């Protein structure tokens, strides 16, 4: 992963001088046992770990940052060209990386490398092998290869083969078989087939998913981070979510767009509250709506997951550390933040990510909507744009896709939490229901202010999709006017700059709801029609951060940074087999516990894994030649 935040994509450096850390490392037991290896590793990464050279401060492309999804010489223009090439060959970017080399005459040559166990070996799968060849695209040579991360994926496949013996039903067995094929061959189509069986496996007690899933860390927004989780169902909270699912078809009708912009048929999904046992990835989310494949979501459905023990960590708030709220809001906020967040996550995942239709023309020229009768509610005209075969939401909207979709889902949550039926499902009525609504909206506008931490003024860019989305919502509600939301700069009791966020709860329905309704409808229409130009103009307009009055957001950003609270860490347990019994190994909630949890995760093959990772990094090091192009981003 590199020393880059999972939430914000900025670099963090050790809180001690480089020389002291070097003494700690070289004085360790590992260094005594393997002196040359440890010195070699430190020599390779020591300077990079501490370097705050501008390009190494955050993830990005070209001069804007560093990433290992692309070779160090790739720019945003290269990423766009590669995406167009992938679209032309109906290849997904999810499990790929892009490497560019330049010949003596300055002509670029591109390698698209698929992650797989197999490299150039013969294969039974023509689906992938037919794509493994050289191409000429817009005057540039492309080569599609595979075998990226082969030794690690071989380990994954070996464990999935063992897991097949414990499949609880045929859906799980077929799911595992398709995952194995996907990781062996480098086939996203096989992973889609596995995901189809996963969707059909309703209500398992132990839930899991694995693959190249979320695209937040790719600066272009198309490549997936490899992640996986295992979690156990929380039956009490899941019962509430099941009631929400039962009402979903009716609640979808409350959303502010015409029925023709909704899926042709609502495919009843699973929605469970899970307690995470293990979540492997750069960060652990509070909720998930997967799979991310648009074609499956439109025709097969999806699953919703709320991660209860992750939410519990998010709930934990000390009054004295609660920033930017009025004193008389703090106790109410602490009391209702947890319950309101349950409601928001439920609506966000099920009816946010789970709603809306994409207008598509398939490879045979057929449309999934009636060109004659479907009318754009924003223009009053027939539909003028749509998704062509091979195009997806991520590939078309690329750099804004993740944040735009999170904004749409968050807006759905705010909008539908006003519906009495939703609050009754979660057990809230009367004054309690009104408090849940108020705190949910208050939490969102406060989050919009806190989001400024994740904006980089020097590069004019946002580093975190969810936080950009919350800032956009704050802007929409501020624009609504009439005193609905106000942000007032103040001076804290410590004499330093501070601020207060106020939400007029009496105007949530009369002012806030209509503003959100208009905005949400525009978001959905532009998404459904694949109108990238319109979508960018709308979204990037609201996401612009300036120091213009009355809010003076750049000045407020300094205050937010001054008052920011440390991000919470989640220490995960490990499991250990003793005969046929599974032992749960838990660790103390501290930095030391976190380190022990990591170091004891793979006790049998840890050294082998470390050797594999070192070999892979060394093999690709030439693609990041100088210190400004070093592979210190995520793997």
Strand partners, 456: 461
Mean pLDDT of the chain: 93
Q: Is residue 285 part of a domain?
A: no
> Tens digit of pLDDT for each residue in 18-59?
999 999 999 999 999 999 999 999 998 999 999 999 999 999
43 assigned to a ligand binding site: no
Choosing from 181, 262, 349, 391, the catalytic residue is 349
- Among 279-283, 311-315, 480-484, the range scoring the smallest mean pLDDT is 311-315
Is residue 315 one of the residues assigned to a domain? yes
Task: Enumerate residues 6+ apart whose C-beta is below 8 A from 47.
Answer: 627
Domain count, the chain: 1
Token digits for 381?
């005209």
Q: DSSP letters of 310-373? A: HHHHHH---GGG--SB-HHHHHHHHHHHHHHHHHHHHHIIIIIIT-----BB-TTS-BSS-TTT
Whether the CB-CB separation of 187 and 128 falls below 8 Å is answered with: yes
Residue 419 labeled ligand binder? no
| Residue 527 domain boundaries | 307-563
The confidence band for 125, taking pLDDT boundaries of 50, 70 and 90, is low
Active site residue 349: yes
CA-angle at 628, arms to 626 and 629, nearest 5°: 70
Closest CA relative to residue 441, chosen from 389, 394, 390, 509: 509
Give me the pLDDT at residue 631, please.
45
Q: Give per-residue pLDDT as tens, 569-614.
A: 889 999 988 998 999 999 999 999 999 999 899 888 888 998 999 9
Angle formed by the axes of helices 235-252 and 327-347, to 10°?
80
406 has binding-site annotation = yes
Neighbour count for residue 188 (Cβ, 10 Å): 24
Count how many residues are written for the chain. Answer: 635
pLDDT in tens, 501-532: 999 999 999 999 999 999 999 999 999 999 99
Own/partner pairs, 328-332, CB within 8 angstroms, 24+ separation: 329/442, 332/435, 332/438, 332/439
d(CA 536, CA 141): 30
At 628, is the pLDDT very low, low, confident or very high (cuts 50, 70, 90)? very low
Give the number of other CB atoms < 10 A from CB of residue 242: 16
Q: How confident is the model at residue 124 (pLDDT cuts 50, 70, 90)?
A: low
E-state strands within 14-139: 96-102, 108-115, 134-137
Number of alpha carbons in the 13 Å side-chain half-sphere of residue 399: 15
Per-residue pLDDT tens over the stretch 388-429: 998 999 999 999 999 999 999 999 999 999 999 999 999 999
C-alpha distances (whole Å) from 623 to each of 51, 222, 529 are 19, 20, 38
- Tens digits of residue pLDDT in 442-455: 999 999 999 999 99
pLDDT of 474 strictly over 90 = yes
The angle that helices 327-347 and 393-416 make with each other, rounded to 10 degrees, is 130
Assess if residue 67 is contained within a domain: no
CA distance 290 to 296: 10
- Output phi, psi for 264, to 5 deg: -60, -35
Please tell me the distance from the alpha carbon of residue 291 to that of residue 281, in angstroms, as a whole number. 16
Is 511 inside a domain boundary?
A: yes
471 in a domain, yes or no? yes
For residue 486, the cross-strand partners are: 502
**Contact yes or no for 504/359 (Cβ under 8 A):** no
Distance in angstroms (rounded) separating the CA atoms of residues 477 and 484: 7
Longest dimension (CA), the chain: 75
Residue 318 confidence (pLDDT): 78
Confidence class for position 459, pLDDT limits 50, 70, 90: confident
Query: pTM higher than 0.85 for the full model?
Result: no
Contact 210, 228 (CB under 8 A): yes
Residue 416, domain member (yes or no): yes
What integer pLDDT is reported at residue 634 of this predicted model?
40
Structure-block tokens of residue 517: 């309704």
Digit-coded pLDDT (tens) for 548-576: 999 999 999 999 999 998 778 889 999 98
Is the Cα torsion angle 440, 441, 446, 451 positive or negative in sign?
Answer: positive
* Pairing relationship of beta strands 461-462 and 485-491 according to DSSP bridges: unpaired
What pLDDT does residue 418 have?
Answer: 98
Mean pLDDT of all residues in 81-88: 96
In a domain, 485, yes or no: yes
pLDDT (0 to 100) of residue 627:
42
Rounded mean pLDDT of 218-222? 94
Which distant-in-sequence residues (6+ apart) come within 8 Å of 483 by Cβ?
504, 507
Residue 446 lies inside a defined structural domain of this protein: yes
Q: Which residue has the higher pLDDT, 490 or 130?
A: 490
């Amino acid at each position: 992963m590199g020393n880059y935040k999972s939430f914000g994509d900025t670099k963090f450096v050790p809180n001690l001088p480089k020389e002291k850390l070097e003494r700690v490392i070289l004085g360790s037991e590992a260094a005594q046992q393997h002196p040359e290896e440890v010195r070699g590793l430190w020599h390779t990464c020591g300077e990079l770990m501490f370097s705050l050279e501008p390009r190494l401060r955050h993830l990005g492309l070209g001069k804007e940052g560093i990433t290992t999804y692309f070779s160090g010489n790739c720019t945003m223009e290269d990423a766009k060209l590669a995406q167009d090439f992938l679209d032309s060959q109906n290849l997904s970017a999810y499990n790929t990386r892009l490497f560019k080399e330049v010949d003596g005459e300055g002509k670029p040559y591109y390698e698209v490398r698929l992650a797989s166990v197999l490299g150039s070996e013969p294969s039974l799968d023509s689906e992938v092998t037919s794509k493994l060849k050289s191409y000429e695209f817009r005057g540039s040579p492309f080569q599609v290869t595979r075998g990226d991360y082969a030794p690690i994926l071989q380990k994954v496949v070996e464990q999935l083969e063992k897991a097949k013996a414990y499949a609880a039903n045929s859906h799980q067995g077929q799911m595992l078989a398709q995952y194995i094929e996907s990781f062996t061959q480098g086939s996203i189509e096989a992973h889609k087939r596995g995901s189809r069986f996963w969707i059909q496996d309703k209500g398992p007690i132990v839930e899991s998913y694995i693959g190249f899933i979320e695209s937040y860390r790719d600066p272009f927004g198309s490549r997936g981070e490899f992640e996986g989780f295992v979690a156990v169902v929380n039956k009490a909270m899941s019962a509430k979510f099941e009631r929400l699912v039962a009402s979903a078809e009716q609640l979808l009708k409350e959303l502010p767009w015409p029925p023709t912009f909704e899926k042709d048929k609502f495919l009843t999904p699973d929605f469970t509250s899970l307690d995470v046992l293990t979540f492997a990835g750069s960060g652990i989310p509070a909720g998930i709506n997967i799979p991310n494949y648009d074609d499956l979501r439109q025709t097969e459905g999806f699953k919703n997951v709320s991660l209860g023990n992750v939410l519990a960590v998010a709930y934990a708030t000390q009054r004295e550390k609660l920033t930017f709220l009025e004193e008389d809001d703090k106790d109410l906020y602490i009391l209702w933040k947890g319950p309101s967040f349950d409601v928001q996550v439920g609506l966000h995942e099920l009816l946010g990510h789970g709603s809306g239709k994409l207008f598509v023309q398939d490879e045979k020229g057929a449309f999934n909507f009636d060109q004659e009768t479907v009318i754009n509610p924003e223009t009053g005209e027939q539909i003028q744009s749509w998704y062509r075969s091979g195009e997806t939401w991520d590939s078309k909207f690329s750099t804004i896709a993740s944040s735009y979709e999170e904004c749409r889902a968050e807006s759905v949550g705010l909008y539908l939490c006003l519906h009495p039926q939703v609050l009754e499902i979660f057990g809230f009525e009367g004054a309690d229901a009104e408090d849940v609504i108020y705190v949910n909206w208050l939490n969102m506008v406060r989050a919009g202010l806190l989001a400024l931490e994740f904006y980089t003024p020097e590069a004019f860019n946002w580093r975190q999709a969810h936080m950009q989305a919350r800032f956009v919502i704050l802007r929409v509600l501020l624009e609504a006017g009439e005193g609905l939301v106000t942000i007032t700069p103040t001076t804290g009791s410590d004499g330093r700059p501070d601020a207060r966020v106020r939400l007029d709860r009496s105007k949530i329905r009369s002012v806030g709801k209509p503003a959100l309704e208009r905005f949400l409808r525009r978001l959905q229409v532009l998404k459904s029609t694949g109108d990238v130009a319109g979508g960018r103009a709308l979204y990037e307009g609201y996401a612009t951060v300036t120091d213009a009055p009355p809010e003076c957001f750049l000045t407020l950003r300094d205050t937010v940074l001054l008052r920011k609270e440390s991000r919470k860490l989640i220490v995960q347990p490990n499991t250990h087999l003793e005969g046929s019994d599974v032992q749960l190994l838990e660790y103390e909630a501290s930095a030391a516990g976190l380190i022990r949890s990591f170091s004891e995760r793979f006790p049998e093959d840890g050294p082998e894994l470390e050797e594999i990772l070192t070999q892979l990094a060394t093999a690709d090091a030439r693609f990041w030649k100088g210190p400004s192009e070093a592979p210190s981003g995520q793997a």
